[in-house]
Copies of this chain bind each other. A is one copy, B any other.
Amino acid sequence: MTRLEKSSNLREACIQEALAIIESEGVESLSLREVSRRLGVSHQSPYKHFPSRDHILAEIVRRAFESFAHFLDEQSHQGTGDELAQMGRAYVQYALTHPLQYRLMFGTPLPDPTEHPVMMASARHAFTLLRDGIARMRLARGERVSSDAVDQDALFIWAALHGLASIHQTHALHTLSLSDDVLQGALDHTLYRIGIGLGVSVDRSS
């Protein structure tokens, strides 16, 4: 037995090594065999902590959703600006600064959610923050809306922000010869149009 196999840190070491494999080789290359090979431990060792490759992936995805939700929550309550607009900024900022985590959450096949309820709960948590922000905004305006109506607006906002973040990583964007003003103002303008779309006035320079 190597020192690592005896140590209580093996679980964490497996997770870090799996993340490194995903980052360098892509999620398709992740296997518990490859994790153990890279760590220099026996093939059986990772199984003490993870019944399957999907279990280690589910833990990595869970952490991504948790860190994402934490960032959204924290940033949307900073300062005095509009909560939804702050959350929108935070969303795009997270996507651009954490491309690996973002891709794991929204761009790769997830492990079967029904088999991994803790991962699923953390994914829902991020969406709930957006839902709650919308519900609070409607309430503050004296509006009563159904749960479905909140979900519909949450999907609309998610679509626009996910689309904007994705477009920035899209090579097609750079074929369009858009002006620097248009490119640099894209997030502000999108939040501005979302605000009008929701019937909320948004300060363009906030």
Q: Residue A190 contacts which of B105, B159, B190, B199 (CB distance < 8 angstroms)?
A: B159
In the A-B complex, the 3 residue pairs with the closest CB atoms:
A163-B163, A197-B197, A159-B163
Question: Are B153 and A162 in contact (CB-based, < 8 A)?
Answer: no
How many copies of this protein are present in the complex? 2
Q: Does A137 contact B (CB under 8 A)?
A: no
**A71 cross-chain contacts in B, Cβ below 8 A:** none
Q: Residue A124 contacts which of B176, B185, B195 (CB distance < 8 angstroms)?
A: B176
**A7 cross-chain contacts in B, Cβ below 8 A:** none
A174-B113, A193-B198 given; A182·B123 CB < 8 A: no
**Alpha-carbon gap, A185 to B194, bound state (A):** 18
Chain B residue at minimal CB-CB distance from A189: B152
Using C-beta atoms within 8 Å of the partner chain, give the interface range for chain A.
35 or more
- A19 shortest CB reach to chain B, Å: 19
Interface residues of A in 79-118 (CB under 8 A from B): 105-110, 113
**A178 cross-chain contacts in B, Cβ below 8 A:** 151, 155
Question: Are A160 and B156 in contact (CB-based, < 8 A)?
Answer: yes
- A169 shortest CB reach to chain B, Å: 9
Which has the most chain B C-beta neighbours within 10 Å: A171, A177, A181?
A: A171
**A123 cross-chain contacts in B, Cβ below 8 A:** 172, 175-176
Question: Are B179 and A151 in contact (CB-based, < 8 A)?
Answer: yes
Q: Does A4 contact B (CB under 8 A)?
A: no
Question: Are B106 and A193 in contact (CB-based, < 8 A)?
Answer: no
**Alpha-carbon gap, A185 to B172, bound state (A):** 29
Q: Residue A166 contacts which of B148, B162, B172 (CB distance < 8 angstroms)?
A: B162
**A110 cross-chain contacts in B, Cβ below 8 A:** 171-172, 175
